[in-house]
Chains A and B, each alone.
Chain A
Amino acid sequence: MKLTTVKAGLAALVLSTAPAFAEYPQRDIDLVVGFAAGGGTDVMARTVETYLEKHLGNGANIVVKNVPGASGQIGITEVAAAAPDGYTIGTYNLPGMMARTLDREPEYSADSFTFLANVVDDPNVIVTSKASGLESLDALIEKAKSETGAVTVSMSSLGGDDHLFLMKLGEKIGAEFTIVPFKGSAPARTALIGGHVDMAIVNVSEVANFADELNIIAVASEEESEYAPGTPTLKSLGVDIVNGARRGFVAPAGLPEEVETKLLEAFRQLENDEEFQAAMKETANPVDLTVGKDFRTLNDQQLELAKEVWEVSPWK
């Protein structure tokens, strides 16, 4: 505590007395988005961009650069390899980016990054089709346990948050599901509405408008979500799982300390920025800020979870 105060004081002293150390940022900051323009991560990045510029001050200008491909792997690899000067940051998805270190051989690891902030936490929800007649968690568990693979579950892909969540769920309730991985959550949801599968794992922001067409069984968050009011949390139903899709920002490892401090500070200020919170709500992005070291801890927990699942049932 004392040490950080001294450090901060020193930093302030250095900044105020030495004009040779020009204040960050001096030029445009590249924000590498690993997905195509218009997708969920892109919209999140572009919303955050505006407010991050505001809190960085100093006329900061952030330029979004879409580097899509290989579910974000191309973009994040570019960030990992960039110069750690604070002029390249990138979007970071959990558990995806860590799961890729298991099922592929990427040129990055958790140590390649300076963890800035996780901004979005979109908890998993269990939804069932009207046709399935499964209207409660108990009914669902009963059917799932009746026979191996008795319940068909659609989801967006293998190795994503929905998959890891489902494996965890199966382990906790002692059942095995039949996984039907679609290409993305929209078709997975449509298949559920059409009654072609019994159940789906999606994220809470994706079911907000579909309360009439689906049964929303439970949400895997600590508290009730404003995107699915009235839906019980899994915890409250006695199944202790909290999981979701997380989207945040990282920079290459080894950022200069004053740059890192400044970026973390800017992210911290998003917490109380009401305009920002409103803009995120507008774009269906549930905000849950986790900054700096806490974000790294979160990352390691997610890697641990992915490893557990990978060891028991590798999806590839």
Chain B
Amino acid sequence: MYGSLIDALPEVLGLSNFLAVIVGVLAGIVVGALPGLSATMAISVLIPFTFAFEPLVALGLMAGIYNGAMYGGAIPAVLLRIPGTPAAVCTSFDGYPMAQKGEGGYALQIAVVSSAIGGIASALALMLLAPPLARVTLLFGPSEVFWVAVFGLSSIVFLLGGNPIKGLIAAAFGVFVSLVGSDTITGYDRFTFGRLEILDGINIVVLLVGLYALPPVIDLLEHPESPDASNTRKLATTSIWSRLPDMMGFWTTWLRGSIIGILVGILPGAGGSMAAFLSYNEARRASKNPENWGKGEPEGVAASETANNADTASALIPALTLGIPGTAVAAVMLGGLLIHGLQPGPMLFRDNPGIVFGFMWQFLFGAILLIFLGGSLATNSFAKVLLLPRPLLAAFIIVLMLIGTYAIHGRMFDVYLMLGFGVIGYGMDKLDYPLPPVVLGVILGGFAEENLRLALRIGRGDWSVLWANTTSQILIAVTIAIVVGPLVTRFLRKRKSARHA
């Protein structure tokens, strides 16, 4: 099963394929370092440009960007207390206080090493778990896939944040978007208004570019002055290797963060920000001196950054094996695979082992490269990205977005559609509606509907087909647990505190 893993290695080490990973990591760090610009946005803007590349070059770029961006988000989080990506929020809790104490350089070094370790663990998980899981996926017929989608949708409860109503509205909007196009079973047109361009449904990349890229770009233009970057000048220039021994004490945090990140990645629905949050909380709970947390505890940076990189590769496990992408980034990457003729599912590992396993290696190398490319000197220069003139940057990104969207099918219709979604995204941003539920609604809503109907056809209209076998029953139980669990704990805690009072 793992023999093909070794066979795929030489190809990955070829010049252009390896260079792609390096370029990807560098680009990812830069994108991640820019507040507002996320890995999702970078990959969705970039993907149309990779159509013409060899598969491994395109995939290497994506793997590199994903890893790089997850770390890059830490740079402004530490230096400015502005998380560069949503997943870096927890990094700012202790990273910024460290920077104020003049330890910003050390904080970033911890971030880069932790990110690399999380990324390596995740890549190894993908390599070891995906091939055997791919065999198990033959057990997943329409009714089982339906439950996986429902399970993913139910994990939206974690993403709702402060305002559940707004979160649910966002999710419902996503599900609505998934309905557009011809009905997958009967072929009836739904909400297409006679436009052939959306008969196949709304392209996820068009949606993501608009929703994720346009609002932050407008934000760059709304606040043209660069943020106060005085902390960037106080970065220590000690070599990263000489600081490594100091970090060895973090190994339990690294281990815990990696496991949390990997598990969160595998669950469809949750993403890097949730992984970082859980890992940060758990690390604080286990810490001997929890009172220091939030005041510049280096271990806090390590906890957050390990976990937000540890979900990168593992998020691809459901995408590659079941064809169900659990996160927006995984959805975009899956699109990238499909463009190169690679069908997810159990056959993927048999039909295209060179490319699939090569892609996994690229994730591993992307993570390792972080240490070299994101080392102290490099971090100093990446921090300078924050000083770039913002209007220039915004203009550059807009051009990329327009060309990229046009390139998907070579038509202006998609560009207008993208801009339309951009306006919606901007409005949602201003009104504090969360974006991740929209994406989950689009991806998983479509899956849930299609597979429910296929399952009912197989059962010839008998609904009991949905819980007829063990796999389905397990999935149902897990889904109920995930929805009811938090409610029960909240109820118990309330009763406990009531009794104490």
Contacts and interface: CB of A to CB of B under 8 A. Distances in A.
Nearest to B181: A70
A182 B450 CA distance: 9
A186 B343 contact: yes
A316 B185 CA distance: 9
Contact of A158 (B140, B185, B200, B351): B185
Given A178-B457, A181-B185, A194-B138, A69 B351 contact: no
A119 interface: no
B345 A190 contact: yes
A37 B339 contact: yes
A39 B351 CA distance: 15
Given A66-B410, A316-B187, A194 B339 contact: no
B187 A159 contact: yes
B347 A191 contact: no
Best-surrounded residue of A39, A190, A195 (most CB of chain B within 10 A): A190
A65 B409 CA distance: 10
Nearest to B346: A190
Contacts, number: 90
A68 B411 CA distance: 10
A198 to B, nearest CB: 9
B457 A180 contact: yes
Contact of B458 (A43, A77, A157, A196): A196
Contacts of B51: 37
A7 interface: no
A36 interface: yes
Contacts of B457: 152, 178-180
Interface string B334-350: 00000111010111000
Contacts of A281: none
A73 B138 contact: no
B410 A316 contact: no
Interface string A176-205: 001111110011011101111100000000
Contacts of B351: 209
Contacts of A158: 185-187
B196 interface: yes
A103 B189 CA distance: 11
A21 interface: no
A259 interface: no
Best-surrounded residue of B196, B339, B346 (most CB of chain A within 10 A): B196
B140 A194 contact: yes
Contact of B454 (A39, A69, A180): A180
A67 interface: yes
B142 A69 contact: no
A70 B341 CA distance: 19
Interface string A52-66: 000000000000011
B197 interface: yes
A194 B138 CA distance: 5
B409 A183 contact: no
A190 B410 CA distance: 32
B199 A178 contact: no
A80 B300 CA distance: 64
A74 interface: yes
Contacts of A179: 457
Interface in A144-165: 149, 152, 157-159
B347 A186 contact: yes
Interface in A16-43: 36-39, 43
Given A69-B200, A73-B196, A190-B345, A103 B141 contact: no
A69 B199 contact: yes
B184 interface: yes
Interface in B167-196: 182, 184-188, 196
A183 B345 CA distance: 14
A315 B187 contact: yes
Interface string B297-331: 00000000000000000000000000100000000
A67 B347 contact: no
B460 A316 contact: no
B356 to A, nearest CB: 15
Contacts of A157: 187
Nearest to A182: B454
B139 interface: yes
A43 B341 CA distance: 10
A179 B185 CA distance: 10
A236 B491 CA distance: 70
Nearest to B457: A180
Contacts of A209: 351
A184 to B, nearest CB: 8
Contact of B188 (A149, A183, A316): A316
Given A180-B454, A190-B138, A103 B345 contact: no
Contacts of A193: 138, 346
B409 A69 contact: yes
Given A158-B186, A194-B140, A70 B199 contact: yes
A191 B346 CA distance: 11
Contact of B197 (A37, A69, A71, A178): A69
Contact of A183 (B184, B186, B196, B460): B184
B196 A74 contact: yes
Given A186-B343, A209-B351, A68 B196 contact: no
Nearest to B446: A183
Interface string B194-220: 001101100000000000000000000
A170 to B, nearest CB: 16
A38 B343 contact: no
A157 B351 CA distance: 23
A194 B182 CA distance: 27
Contacts of B200: 68-71
A32 to B, nearest CB: 11
Contacts of B199: 69-71, 73
A71 B187 CA distance: 11
Interface of B: 51, 137-142, 182, 184-188, 196-197, 199-200, 323, 339-341, 343, 345-347, 351, 409-410, 450, 454, 457-458, 460
9 contacts: A37-B51, A69-B197, A149-B460, A178-B460, A180-B457, A181-B185, A196-B141, A196-B142, A197-B458
Given A73-B196, A194-B137, 20 more contacts: A36-B409, A38-B341, A69-B199, A70-B199, A70-B200, A77-B196, A152-B457, A180-B142, A181-B185, A183-B184, A186-B343, A190-B347, A193-B346, A194-B139, A195-B138, A195-B141, A196-B458, A197-B458, A315-B186, A316-B187
Which 9 pairs from chain A and chain B are nearest by CB? A196-B141, A194-B138, A70-B199, A38-B341, A70-B196, A186-B343, A316-B187, A180-B457, A74-B196
